[in-house]
Amino acid sequence: MKTLLITLPAAADDYSHVHNFRNFGEDIHSHFIATGMAQVPDMDSATTELHVVISATRHLGTVTSYVTKAIRRYGLSDLVHVTRLDRSEPTTP
């Protein structure tokens, strides 16, 4: 499994960014939960980072593409950073 770490470094200054970020996380979660392709285990507590855990490497392209499009759709393109982690479990701060 692969994990996409999505961070929102500027969130502390603007609640509207946090709100959009959380809605973005809910979108990702609801889109992929039924298929089992990915999950967002920290969605309910997310304020500055989300972990998108991808169930199998073969889904990496599909999930990454959807995440990239959703980032644009939620107006987060200039605000978030996406990093691919090679570990199967998300890290906790």
Give the domain ranges of the chain.
2-85
Query: Can you give the pLDDT at residue 16?
Result: 80
Percent of all residues in the chain with a pLDDT value above 70, rounded to a whole number = 88
CATH topology of domain 2-85: Alpha-Beta Plaits (3.30.70)
Phi/psi of residue 44, nearest 5 degrees: -70, -25
What's the predicted TM-score (pTM) here? 0.83
Q: Confidence class of residue 89 from pLDDT cuts 50, 70 and 90?
A: very low
Find all residues with CB under 8 Å of 48, minimum gap 6, and list them. Answer: 7, 8, 9, 11, 12, 18, 21
> Residue 57 in contact with residue 50, Cβ under 8 Å?
no
Q: Confidence class of residue 12 from pLDDT cuts 50, 70 and 90?
A: low
CA neighbor of 24 nearest in space, from 67, 84, 62: 67
Percent of all residues in the chain with a pLDDT value above 90, rounded to a whole number = 57
Q: Given a cut of 50, is residue 59 above it in pLDDT?
A: yes
CA distance linking residue 93 with residue 69, whole number of Å: 27
Mean pLDDT (the chain) is: 86
